[in-house]
Structure 1
Amino acid sequence: MKEAFMTLPWWVRWIAIPTIALAVFGTLLIGVITWLIGMLFRVLLFAALVAILIFVVRKFTSSSSSGGGW
């Protein structure tokens, strides 16, 4: 197999075969990259929302407990 591949012209090995591979698997690659970027965005959004929630809870609990009401 390697011998058959090496006998091909350079433009077939370095231009035609990668172009065919991108045409066949391009949508799959774009789908995987899109999914990874979407997942990264969701993880960052989750972390930001949890941080805001912790900040708000600490803000309200510290202000209500410092008043000495009960």
Structure 2
Amino acid sequence: MAIQAHEIEALIRAGFPDAKIIVQGDDGAHFSAEVIDESFRGMSRIQQQRAVNATVKSAIDSGALHALALTTRAPA
């Protein structure tokens, strides 16, 4: 029931189609993602990360994704 980085990227991209997304991790359960999107402008870091977590909720709930460390920000 392992998930791959490209699958996580697809889930995040569904919620943030114009974002720059980099997902790393190769053990099938623990990943890190950097998401840079204009929609984050004016949002707190917690709000940004909650928004991204909402896009991968199904993978977390199913147990396919165990951990996702997030770095989020608006473009410079």
Could you say which structure has the larger radius of gyration?
1
Higher strand proportion (structure 1 or 2):
2
TM-score (norm: length of structure 1)? 0.27
| Larger relative contact order, structure 1 or 2 (CA cutoff 8 Å, min sep 6) | 2
